[in-house]
Amino acid sequence: MINVTEPEYELLKQFIEKHCGIVLEKGKEYLIETRLSELAKEVGALSFQDFHFKAKKDQTGHLRDRIIDAMTTNETSWFRDASIWEYIQKNAIPCLIDRMIKGNKVRVWSAAASTGQEAYSLAILFYEALNNRGLLNLLSRIEILGTDISSSAITTARSGQYDTIAVQRGLPQDKKERYFLQNGNQWTLQPDIKKMVSFKEFNLQNTFMGLGQFDLILCRYVTIYFSEPFKRELFAKFSRSLKHSNDMLLLGATESLRGFSDNFEIEYYHNAMINLKR
């Protein structure tokens, strides 16, 4: 492992915040050392100063992307946090299905989708709700988009294939049996669910203009890593990306937009915060 000095830590910390918004706090030097040492060695860097120089000089952006990939935490699971998913199932989805019945297209965005479990959890609930009401003919009116800055996470998400450990995290047994095909240690999502979701590499620092408008946005467990000014900017962009007033932005259970945005009305469902566009 290569040791990081204080000035080198500062250089890499600034580089990472500039390119993905993640703020490394003091005392996180070990993250640089454990996550970037191998990559530094691979590109022939003898120190982290040298590594930073190589990353800055790299015109292709390839090394930058690999650094971001290594520094992002892709921790995720199926139906993460029971109350929010109960809310989505009981309140959000029926309301969005009404829009579909009226002939509208419904667009949902999982904005830090990681390896896809959140976006596919949404797809499973939409599929079940439509199936239960005999409305599977409306499937073409729902579009679920999953985006993430991490290219390796997006590759896994697109594959719709998970190992036994990943498929067990949060996925109820009946859904696992119903929506996955097992082949040894690999579980492949059923095509009917997989085709409801598309994935795209996307940095939340970028403009949202090209993405269009959404009826529901989930941005969970990523703003915890961002600076206060970035959170303000991000919540303003999410508000502009929601189609109607009362459309929802759902954050992780440890995240809040209180103090960072006046664009949302906050309601509670059990312990889950529901942010409704004003």
Ligand X SMILES: C[S@@+](CC[C@H](N)C(=O)[O-])C[C@H]1O[C@@H](n2cnc3c(N)ncnc32)[C@H](O)[C@@H]1O
Q: Which positions touch ligand X (CB under 6 A)?
A: 20-22, 72-76, 80, 112, 114, 118, 148-150, 153, 203-205, 220-222, 252
Give the nearer residue to ligand X in terms of CB position, either 66 or 80. 80
- Dist CA 275 CA 223 (whole Å): 14
Closer by beta carbon to ligand X, 71 or else 130: 71
Nearer to ligand X, 9 or 79 (CB): 79
Query: How large is the angle between the packed helices 117-132 and 93-101, nearest 10 degrees?
Result: 60
End-to-end CA distance of the chain: 50
Least distance between ligand X and beta carbon 73 (Å): 5
The CB-of-158 to ligand X minimum distance in angstroms stands at 14
Determine whether 224 is exposed, middle or buried from the number of CB atoms within 10 Å of its CB (0-12, 13-18, 19+).
Answer: middle
Q: Are 101 and 135 a contacting pair, CB within 8 Å?
A: yes
| Closest residue by Cα to residue 148 from 84, 197, 81, 105 | 197
Torsion sign, CA atoms 241, 107, 209, 191: positive
Rounded least distance, CB 40 to ligand X, Å: 20
Reduced to 3 states, what is the DSSP secondary structure of residue 218? Answer: strand
List, in sequence order, every residue forming a beta bridge with 162; answer none if it has no partner. Answer: 187
In 3-state terms, what secondary structure has residue 112?
A: coil
Minimum gap (Å) between residue 25 Cβ and ligand X: 15
CB of 22 to ligand X, least distance (A): 6
State the nearest-atom distance from the C-beta of 218 to ligand X, in Å.
Answer: 7
